[in-house]
Each structure stands twice: as structure tokens, then as C-alpha cells.
């Protein structure tokens, strides 16, 4: 069985990218969690998938045009149901302190920021908490270049070129990545090339046990999933 990475936490049951979603996934026994980062207007690394807070909170606006104090005041749970009312959007430091070294950290940086400032922040916070062994930065070419430049010893996962898996393998090698994250339409040939290059192969995504087993049989090492509970019980 491959390792399981909880995509935005246990995101089918909890408000995605929140501490309850991460805590639930860790309790179930996943090996990794995945979360997304943007910079707020005042330079705080905010955990959110979308560029705006519109879909996942009771507020509106682009994260890059909002200050952290405004974002922190938003309700990130009520959109899922009243049970989750008053759950808040976390920031990077809060997630790292909450999770610690209990599981691996797949940190998807959406935009590196001016001069790679968000990448630098992530690397610094990982180092401060001695999480280098279990954390890795995932991103496009701009993120990977920034990470390689400012912190070459922090592990990297290639998301660049995902629509052309063979080229993605080449990019992962070019940017000195430890792993890459394929989409579901990846070919056996691309997986084989990645393996030959010594790369760990993530898959985005699978939520059904038989489907997961098929990808594992093809050589996938880490499955990103929204439904870790279903895959863990098989």
C-alpha cells in the first residue's frame, strides 16, 4: 500500500485546510497532510487553497488584498455546516506547531511572492522547528526555482508540467526535486521514467480503495486523498 497524504486534511468531512481537518486525518493514521499557502497583504502565510476567501469562508476578497487580522476574523467552518461554526483560517506557523513531526508535510506554495519571500518564510519556519526531514515544498517552476535558490536542502516536489507527464519528469530532474506529483492521467511510461530517475511519485488524487490499489500497482508511492477514512479501512 502506498502512503496516504490527506489532501487539505480530511477535506470531505471537515472544513478544508483547517486544524480540525488536519487533526482528523492525523488521528485516522495518514502518513502526510497537504495544505496550500498564499501571502496576505501584510505578509502573513495564510493556509487556503483558493486565491480568494470567497468559497471557504463567510467573507470575500483576494488573500493578497486582505490583512491577516481581517482573514483571522472570518468563519472558515460555517459553509460546511453549523457544527463547524467559528472554525478559523490558520496560518503556516499554527499548522506547523499543531502538526509538528507527527506526519509528513506536503506544503503547496501557490505563489512564491516577490523575490520568493513566501518560499523563504516556509523554509525558515521548517528549519526553526526541526521539520526538515518530513516536510517538502510543492509548487510550479517559479516556486521550485525560488526554493532551490534560497534553501537547496529543503525537499522539493515538482508540480510544474503536470499536463505533460513526460516533460514533468524532466522538470523534476532539472529542479533537483526529490519527488513529483502526477495527475490521474499519468502514463505507465512516465511513472517508469520517474522511477528510473529515482523520484518518489505522488498522485493527485484517489478517493476509492480499488482505484488507489490500481495506481499503487502501477508504481505510485503516495496517494493524495480527500477521503482517508475510506482508504484506511479498505
- Convert the pLDDT of each residue in 84-94 to its tens digit: 999 999 999 99
Q: What mean pLDDT is predicted for residues 11-37?
A: 98
Core vs surface per residue 23-55: b (16+ CB within 10 A) or e: bbbbeeebbbbbbbbbbbeeebbbbbbbebbee
pLDDT digits (tens, 9 = 90+) for 56-78: 999 999 999 999 999 999 999 99
In this structure, the number of other CB atoms found within 10 A of the CB of residue 18 comes to: 26
Per-residue confidence (pLDDT) for residue 159, from 0 to 100:
98
Per-residue confidence (pLDDT) for residue 233, from 0 to 100:
79
Question: Residues 6 or more apart from 45 whose CB is under 8 A from it?
Answer: 37, 38, 39, 91, 92, 93, 118, 121, 122, 125
Band of residue 6 on the pLDDT scale cut at 50, 70, 90: very high
The one-character DSSP state at 194 is H
Query: d(Cα 155, Cα 176) in Å, to the nearest integer?
Result: 9
Any idea which fold 3-36+90-233 has? TIM Barrel (3.20.20)
Band of residue 234 on the pLDDT scale cut at 50, 70, 90: low
Query: d(Cα 36, Cα 73) in Å, to the nearest integer?
Result: 19
Check whether 80 has a pLDDT greater than 90: yes
Three-state secondary structure call for residue 76: coil
Q: Left if phi > 0, otherwise alpha if psi is -120 to 50, otherwise beta: which for 154?
A: beta
CA of 137: how far to CAs of 141, 148, 153, 215, in Å? 12, 10, 11, 23
Residue located via cell numbers 521539520: 131
8 A C-beta contact, residue 159 and residue 140: yes
Q: Are strands 45-47 and 32-39 parallel, antiparallel or unpaired?
A: antiparallel
Query: Of 149, 155, 52, which Cα lies nearest the Cα of 107?
Result: 155
Cα dihedral: 180, 183, 188, 194 (round 10): -10
pLDDT digits (tens, 9 = 90+) for 178-229: 999 999 999 999 999 999 999 999 999 999 999 999 999 999 999 999 999 9
pLDDT digits (tens, 9 = 90+) for 111-123: 999 999 999 999 9
pTM of the model as a whole: 0.98
Amino acid at each position: 500500500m502506498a502512503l496516504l497524504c490527506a489532501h487539505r486534511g480530511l477535506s470531505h468531512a471537515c472544513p478544508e485546510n483547517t486544524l480540525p481537518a488536519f487533526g482528523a486525518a492525523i488521528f485516522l493514521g495518514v502518513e502526510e497532510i497537504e495544505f496550500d499557502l498564499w501571502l496576505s497583504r501584510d505578509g502573513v502565510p495564510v493556509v487556503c487553497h483558493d486565491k480568494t476567501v470567497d468559497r471557504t469562508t463567510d467573507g470575500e476578497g483576494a488573500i493578497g488584498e486582505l490583512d491577516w487580522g481581517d482573514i483571522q476574523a472570518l468563519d472558515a467552518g460555517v459553509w460546511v455546516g453549523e457544527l463547524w461554526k467559528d472554525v478559523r483560517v490558520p496560518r503556516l506557523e499554527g499548522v506547523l506547531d499543531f502538526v509538528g513531526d507527527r506526519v509528513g508535510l506536503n506544503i503547496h506554495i501557490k505563489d512564491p511572492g516577490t523575490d520568493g519571500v513566501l518560499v523563504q518564510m516556509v523554509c525558515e519556519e521548517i528549519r526553526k522547528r526541526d521539520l526538515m526531514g518530513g516536510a517538502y515544498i510543492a509548487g510550479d517552476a517559479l516556486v521550485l526555482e525560488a526554493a532551490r535558490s534560497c534553501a537547496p536542502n529543503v525537499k522539493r516536489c515538482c508540480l510544474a508540467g503536470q499536463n505533460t507527464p513526460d516533460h514533468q519528469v524532466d522538470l523534476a530532474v532539472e529542479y533537483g526535486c526529490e519527488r513529483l506529483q502526477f495527475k490521474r492521467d499519468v502514463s505507465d511510461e512516465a511513472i517508469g521514467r520517474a522511477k528510473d530517475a529515482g523520484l518518489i511519485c505522488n498522485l493527485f488524487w484517489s478517493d476509492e480503495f480499488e482505484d488507489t490499489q490500481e495506481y499503487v500497482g502501477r508504481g505510485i508511492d503516495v496517494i493524495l486523498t480527500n477521503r482517508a477514512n475510506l482508504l484506511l479501512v479498505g
